[in-house]
Structure 1
Amino acid sequence: MLARIFPDRFVPVLLATILIASLLPVRGEAVPVAQGVSTAAIVLLFFLNGVRLPRDEVLHGVRNWKLQGAGLAFCFGGMALLGVVAQAATAPFLPATLALGFLFLGILPSTVQSATASSSMAGGNVAASVVAAALLNLTGVIASPLLFAALAGNAGAISGAAALRIALILLLPFVAGQAAQRWLRPWVLRHRELATFMDRTSIAIAVYVAFSAAVVGGIWTRLDGREIGITFAAVAALLALAFAAAWALGGLLRLRRPDRVTLLFAGAQKSIAVGAPLAATLFPPAIAGVVLVPILVYHMAQLILSAWIAPFLNRPQEV
């Protein structure tokens, strides 16, 4: 039963992280220590992503320009537009920072492991999924902050200090990981479970620290049941639109079915692995926790939805 409800074990980990942060948030003198640990975890996360993402496969895979171009356009164009619409639609009903979280969700890159695994279960083009995930995340490290700054106006203005933090905490470790691929990638591939555990622990730490600050700042006293309900309804609508639009785009482009499946998951899924560190880099802790709420809900919902629809898509098609 639990496996059907939570097909990805990271979903209950995120739920537990939010619960612990709500009950036992970091306070007082422990805050600087927790933020230091979170920063170190983010550096490790992006270093491992740099080691893992196959640079050679990306260069080879971009030859499928129709699929990869559609993935880039939908992930950073179509989804960014949906994020803008969702922010505008929820702004009259939600606190400004929470509504801003929908725009933040829209500019993030796709997941890596989840999109590839979902594509595999659905009979998609697995090789192209690996390339798409790598290409989207390589692009997202630079494009996501710039897109957010361009679309969010004054709320998304990136100061010199924030730009330097992005370069030092996100971009530099990623580039270092890419440079170290020759020596470290074989080890990471041999120890996939350990690398995945380190990835998810890093994400959980970043979410815990950010959400702790939001709890201390009074997120649960500022949000009533109506606003929480609106947030969940808006995420559900955005999720449905994203998956439907990505599938429709693949049809309009007349992609082969395996490529269409790849575009569906690479385009419509969004990455908390980039979202949590980027929010922690762009915003003060109390604001970061609130901005993360839509992507936290979306991330958990997309994993459940993908696990439900992947077997359906893999059924033999009538000729």
Structure 2
Amino acid sequence: MASRRRRLGSVLRRYVDAYLIALLAVVGVAALLPARGAAATAVSTATTVAVGLLFFLYGARIKPAAAWAGAKHWRLHAVVLLSTFALFPLLALALAFLPAGMLTPALYDGLVFLSVVPSTVQSSIAFTSIAGGNVPAAIFSASFSNLAGVVVTPLLAAVLLGGAVAVSAGSIGKIVAQLVLPFAAGQALRPWIGGWMERRKRILGYADRGAILLVIYAAFSAGVVAGVWHEVSPGRLLALVGVLSVLLALVLGLTYWAGRLLGFDRPDRVTAVFCGSKKSMATGLPMATVLFTPASVGLMVLPLMLFHQIQLVVCAVLARRWASP
């Protein structure tokens, strides 16, 4: 019990406190000192390189052989995938019936984009472990969600968002070049660099988070220069937080209910809830920079950034409660 509490505290410190402070600081810098002119060009180039590096690292980190131990629970994995790429989008589309003016069109598009982003890997597995869930199955589900998301997320975004995602031979080539090829290269080179990366996990983790902070700065900076942040009033921001909280509550409840309906034992139900209710900011933000125009990215990723923090706090509370005897 004490060990689980220590692990929970470690997860919270790692994913909420320091990272949230850094994230807010970067948003503040972007608001006060947005990149313009030549600086904006340099930031855009650096972001392109960072996105490619991130997906290379993601590909090199996922261990297909280790995750395969949990692959036999196909019904559990089906629940997680359907929750991630079907339930979330359906609920997001239903939010179109919210009262007019509650959210701007850009914020609603951001909600739709949030709904097609893959699940997290690290926090899904960490919370599953703390709550006594099926960890091998969580490894497989979360890893496979990210593998599928490299292809599924851009396709679903193009279908659901229509004109917000420009689909052309050039845009498809950009997605392949920045996301798919680096990811595939990481997977291919894993047998040779996997051990080296494991030994330097801490340093690479800082590189990971640093690249994501750069993506956040570029997105919010472009939004400030384009003047899109005038669309977000405090009232709309509170409304967005409320909508995201309800969305998370619905998914948590429906994934738990699905596990009970399908006769899952307790560890599998825990895994379905924690893997099926998450959305990955680490994967979603770089994807957004590839899929959307620089001026629109800031508002498009705001729902994802808020949801990421809400899900971590709520799931931390759930994990602690389920870890109790």
Q: Calculate the TM-score normalised by the size of structure 2.
A: 0.91
- Summarize the alignment of residues 70-85 of structure 1 with structure 2, pairs less than 5 Å apart: 70-85=79-94
- Given the alignment, which residue of 258, 266, 269 partners 2:267? 258
Partner of 2:4: none
Displacement of 1:23 in angstroms is 2.0
Q: Secondary structure at the match of 2:98?
A: helix
For residues 186-241 of structure 1, the C-alpha deviation after alignment (integer angstroms, 9 at most, x for no partner) is 11112221121111111111111011111222233222222222211111111211
Give 1:138-153 correspondences, 5 Å limit.
138-153=147-162
Q: Distance in 1 between matches of 2:323 and 2:133?
A: 8
TM-superposition CA deviations, 1:28-57 (whole Å, max 9, x none): 220010011111111111000000001223
1:54-203 → structure 2 map (5 Å cutoff): 54-89=63-98, 92-203=101-212
CA contact (8 A) 1:83 1:107 kept: no
Q: 1:91 to 1:256 in 2, by over 3 A?
A: farther
Q: Which residue of 1 aligns with 2:218?
A: 209
Structure 1 range deviating more: 193-202 or 217-226:
217-226
Q: Which runs of 5+ in 1 are unaligned?
A: none
**Cα distance in 1 between the residues matched to 2:255 and 2:100:** 25
Task: Please report how far the alpha carbon of residue 58 of structure 1 lies from its aligned counterpart in structure 2 after TM superposition.
Answer: 4.0
CA contact (8 A) 2:229 2:299 kept: no
Matched residues, number: 314
In structure 2, the residue corresponding to 1:29 is in which secondary structure? Answer: helix
Whichever residue aligns with residue 42 of structure 1, its letter is V
Counterparts in 2 of 1:169 and 1:114: CA distance versus 1, 3 Å? same
Q: Is the 8 A contact 2:83 2:251 kept in 1?
A: no
Amino acid at match of 1:52: R
What is the CA-CA distance between 1:271 and the residue it aligns to? 0.5
| Alpha-carbon shift at residue 302 of structure 1 (Å) | 1.0
Q: 1:245-286 CA deviation, whole Å, 9 max, x = no partner?
A: 222221222211111111111110100111111110011111
CA distance in 1, matches of 2:220, 2:33: 11
Measured in 1, the distance between the counterparts of 2:169 and 2:99 equals: 30
* 2: CA distance, partners of 1:292 / 1:20: 17
CA distance in 2, matches of 1:24, 1:121: 41
What is the aligned partner in structure 2 of residue 42 from structure 1? 51
**CA RMSD in angstroms, aligned pairs only:** 1.9
Whether contact under 8 Å (2:71, 2:137) holds in the other structure is no
Aligned residue for 2:37, secondary structure, equals coil
TM-aligned CA deviation for residue 4 of structure 1: 10
Matched residue type, 2:190: Q
Provide the C-alpha distance between the structure 2 equivalents of 1:90 and 1:203, rounded to a whole number of angstroms: 34
AA of the residue aligned to 1:62: A
Deviation string for 1:39-96 (max 9, x for gaps)?
1111111000000001223444322111111111111111111222234426643221
| Matching residue within 16, 23, 28 for 1:19 | 28
Contact 1:122–1:314 (CA under 8 A) maintained in structure 2: yes
Shifted more, 241-250 versus 173-182: the winner is 241-250
* Structure 1 range deviating more: 248-257 or 51-60: 51-60
Matched, 1:224 2:237: no
For structure 2, which runs of at least 5 residues remain unmatched after alignment? 1-8
Tell me by how many angstroms 1:306 deviates. 1.6
How many percent of aligned residue pairs carry the same amino acid?
37
Q: Distance in 1 between matches of 2:301 and 2:96?
A: 13
- Cα pair distance change 1:5/1:68, threshold 3 Å: closer
State the distance in 2 between where 1:162 and 1:310 align: 40
Contact 2:79 2:255 in 1 (8 A): no
